[in-house]
Amino acid sequence: KKLAVFVSGGGSNFRSIHEASKRGSLHGDVLVLVTNKSECGGAEYARNNGIPVILFSKAKGEPNGLSPSNLVDTLRKFEVDFILLAGYLKLIPAELIQAYERSILNIHPSLLPAFGGKGYYGMKVHKAVIASGARFSGPTIHFVDEHYDTGGILAQRVVPVLANDTAEELAARVLKEEHQLYVEVVEALCEERVVWREDGVPLIRSKE
CA dist list (Å): 59 to 37, 56, 90: 9, 9, 10
Q: Is 138 one of the binding residues for ligand GRF (CB under 6 A)? A: no
**Which residues 6+ apart lie within 8 Å of 116 measured at CB?**
108, 110, 140, 148, 149, 150
21 binds ligand GRF (CB under 6 A): no
Cβ at position 144, least distance to ligand GRF in Å: 12
Binding ligand GRF (rule: CB under 6 A), the pick from 3, 175, 183, 186 is 175
| Least distance from ligand GRF to the Cβ atom of residue 11, Å | 5
116: contact with ligand GRF by CB under 6 A:
no
Distance between CA 69 and CA 50 in Å, rounded?
A: 25
Note the Cα 153 to chain centre separation in Å. Answer: 13
By CB under 6 A, residue 35 contacts ligand GRF: no
Q: Are 95 and 122 in contact (CB under 8 A)?
A: no
If one asks whether residue 13 binds ligand GRF (CB under 6 A), the answer comes out as yes
Residues of the shown chain interacting with ligand GRF in the complex, contacts defined by CB under 6 A = 7, 9-14, 86-87, 107-109, 139, 175, 178
